[in-house]
Chain A
Amino acid sequence: MTASPLHADVRVDVTAIEKHLAELWRSSKEVADDALTRAALWNVVAHTSTSETHAKASETLGKASGAVPQRTIIVRADPSAPPEIASWISANCHLVGGGKQVCSEEIAIVAGGDRVQRVPPLVNALLIPDMPVAVWWLGDLPNENEDYVLTLLEPADRLIVDSVHFDSPADLLLINRVGEKTTTMPADLNWVRLEEWRQATASIFDPPHMRARLEAIRSIRVAAGTSGSDYFGEIVESLLYAAWISAQVGHQVDALGKVEGPLGSIDYRIERRKQESDIGGISLAEITFDDGSCASITRDRERGILVTNVDGNLSFPESVTRAVVCDIDKLIVRQLKRAQSDRILLKVLPVASRLAKRVASS
């Protein structure tokens, strides 16, 4: 990000945010003229509840706007705070070469007490028309206040969550319900983190002779890196991974999480493995086939790759997949760059919640 007169937060009257934004651009054009372009591909609304998460959202989306220009609206809603509502505007500018800067607007809305209820209509009025809307919900979803969530999501095309913060399988079901019952499609940053694992796993079954072996899967073992606690969010990535294989291969997963494949029941094991870093991430996945042979995927942290290997009677060149640990802004960028919603995640969420029951009972 580069220094710009637009950067400073300017406190503005809530009822005249658009007017102040127009003034801001007019004055900046007088200074920078053609070197400055105002752009937006998305409306991104970040929902926070504390000043820390607000600051984190602002920093993250400021970085993300360099890759995906957006109108950013950061909401800090705290019903326990004094009843007031205030707003600020600023801009995030990024050099794009040739001395040109692309700038995205950022609007901050802080609401407390009963004024929180005024936030959804205000956000609605501030959205750029004809641009898609993503709501990024920071932290755990409020299961107990589903109406508030749904009101805020009413104009949203996408709900971005990070399931590493989920404290129960009910959260998986809640975002699944959002996907099924509304026009807002869920998007999970944990699912984006899984992309490389999915890619590495898919690469095992790319060779034509390996494709038939998908039906010969007998067990799947996934090791989840945890902090040592039994917090649910730390195993969600592993659950999503296991659920993805079942959903795509066509396994039957019953309400208790029992999995049946074409050759009988399939043993699923999600292991918690205490580690210092990459909490919540997968550290190993192992797929065993009916002939006892095994395909494995391991993370080589030092080299920033995933290594796949298939043993047994098959000659198979080792495959590597780039797997650099991504910051949240990069995960959000990857999410926003997907023009379409992720239909696979919708298939996977209910399976993951069923598998969660199996993990809880084991």
Chain B
Amino acid sequence: MSSVTAPTQAPAANPLREGLEQERVPDASSLVIFGASGDLTGRKLLPALYSLAHDGLLPAGQTIIGFARPDFTDDAFRMAMREACDKYARTRPVDNAIWENFAKGLFYVQGDFSEPSGYYRLNQKLQECDRTRGTGGRRIYYLAVPPQFFPVISELLGAEKMVTDPERGGPFTRVIIEKPFGHDLQSAKELNRVAVSTFRERQVFRIDHYLGKETVQNLLVLRFANGIFEPFWNRQYIDHVQITVAESIGVEKRGNYFDSAGITRDIIQNHMMQLLSLIAMEPPVAFEADPVRDEKVKVVRALREFPRGSEEENAVRGQYADGSVLGEKAVAYRKESNVSPESKTETFAAMKVFVDNWRWADVPFYLRAGKRLPKRVTDISIHFRPAPYPMWRKLRGVSTQPNVLAIRIQPDEGISLKFDSKVPGPSVRTAPVTMEFRYATSFGAEPPEAYERLLLETMLGDSTLFARRDEVETAWAWLDPLLNAWAADTRPPDFYPAGTWGPESADKLIERDGRKWRRP
């Protein structure tokens, strides 16, 4: 263990931080990235950490240690990460002076995830950093590795006594896990069992990068910081809700993984559940980790089960066929590399779900997610009930439409409200108009990347924006029967040409109810 003994009681806050733009700066720690030679480290993690340093949000002694199998020197690792930051950091061009100082805290330890000797070397390096960089025994382990490595890494960290906890008198250790959090309920439970055998639940940070997006966080502000919405946010005024997560890309290099997962596991079980929870949750008693997550998990618990044996009534799946997206030819899913030519994996799913509670009884939430759709967009729309009495119905030129509050999560983030307005002139004619708020217009600057926010929150020890064990398991428990039914179904998914909004069955799913998908 570290030779540095950290105080068990947090020292008083630094009074000089009060009122600064960077009011919250964490204590210096060592962040170990397992799988540091992988794509995620270069594309997301290091650029995010550099941008945090650039913005003055990292403490002076913050240390980052890459751990992976390939043999790198510290300098070679630094050079590779500099190239990655040059390409992907939000704050580009990279500032040499900031980089030089940042790179002084960047190290690499070669090791195999299943070999104790690597952990021994890692521990030596961590202790050295405690002495030279003031990291005080504080550790964050980022598991940027496939889930099958999680048990062995977790076990060896425990065996090498590299995990401490302030409640047991030591400095903090936290572990960040990337999705997928399991493949189904059973594997999720197993993953969580392994996690809590080494770490306590509050030391585990399950990262869902959607929660790091400004616009997703803004859902809570929109709902609970504005007095006008909450009175209407219920079954009395809302007709239905639509959530669309569309990607224009196919599976790219992820054919292997995706073919065993499908869009439901890849997007709906995690990102979409988060969006649904934030839209449907009750106001938490405080904006703190447990009160927020308590309310979110209640939403997932309230999700109505799919009707056994007739799941297709409320859920459809599709798979893209040949087509074109954004003017480019796109090949069918089954022709993608590392995908079985007979694959039945769904690249599109649409479902009608109900949150069975007092607020949302019988209000349908229509969810759809897919690959190779016309464009990349994530959009939530709240469709209000029509005006109660059609007093204009006898007049020609008047056809009122329900109000829609649309929340654009990405890209071109913003919120719009559609309402009817009188067309100027001597007669009464109406037309829908929209009132728009766009982040780029109002706030100009590029918002921080999701990973920046989430890494910083982990360093600060705030798990509000991370998924909790029960959230993950409850979502799997709800989805498992549907996934099992699909797996048992010998029919292929409904095909749709790449570049369209999914199969016809998805349109029928909503049109049966006299509604239609909003074009996002």
Interface residues of A, Cβ cutoff 8 Å to B: 37, 39, 41, 66-69, 96-98, 102, 195-196, 198-199, 201-203, 205-209, 211-212, 214, 244-245, 248-250, 300, 303-305, 308, 315-322, 337, 342-344
Contacts and interface: CB of A to CB of B under 8 A. Distances in A.
Interface in B1-39: 6-7, 10-12, 14-22, 25, 27-28
Q: Which label, helix, strand, loop or mixed, suits the secondary structure of the A interface?
A: mixed
Contacts of B6: 208
B96 interface: yes
Contacts of B27: 206-208
Interface string B436-450: 001011111100000
A199 B131 CA distance: 25
B56 A322 contact: yes
Contacts of A212: 11
Given A207-B61, A308-B60, A318-B101, 12 more contacts: A37-B438, A69-B442, A198-B20, A199-B56, A202-B20, A203-B59, A207-B28, A208-B10, A208-B27, A208-B136, A248-B18, A318-B60
B484 interface: no
Nearest to A245: B16
16 contacts: A102-B441, A198-B20, A199-B20, A202-B17, A202-B20, A203-B60, A206-B27, A207-B27, A208-B7, A244-B16, A308-B60, A315-B131, A317-B105, A317-B132, A322-B98, A337-B443
A320 B98 contact: yes
* Most chain B beta-carbon contacts within 10 A, residue among A97, A203, A205: A203
A245 B18 CA distance: 11
Main secondary structure of the interface of B (DSSP, over half): loop
Contacts of B18: 248, 344
Contacts of B60: 203, 206-207, 308, 316-319
**Among all A-B residue pairs, the 7 with the closest Cβ atoms:** A319-B60, A344-B19, A303-B97, A202-B16, A67-B444, A208-B11, A320-B101
A67 B445 CA distance: 7
Contacts of B104: 317-318
B441 A96 contact: yes
Nearest to B132: A315
Contact of B440 (A97, A315, A337): A97
A201 B16 contact: yes
B452 to A, nearest CB: 16
A150 B424 CA distance: 43
Given A195-B20, A199-B22, A315-B131, A207 B59 contact: yes
Contacts of B98: 305, 320, 322
Interface of B: 6-7, 10-12, 14-22, 25, 27-28, 54, 56, 59-61, 95-98, 101, 104-105, 131-134, 136, 412, 438, 440-445
A320 B102 CA distance: 9
Contacts of B444: 66-68, 96
A302 B488 CA distance: 67
A205 B14 contact: yes
B61 A211 contact: no
A195 B96 CA distance: 21
A300 B97 contact: yes
A284 B110 CA distance: 42
A282 B18 CA distance: 21
A304 B95 contact: yes
A322 B95 contact: yes
Contacts of A207: 27-28, 59-61, 134, 136
B3 to A, nearest CB: 13
A58 B97 CA distance: 34
Contacts of B136: 207-208
B97 A320 contact: yes
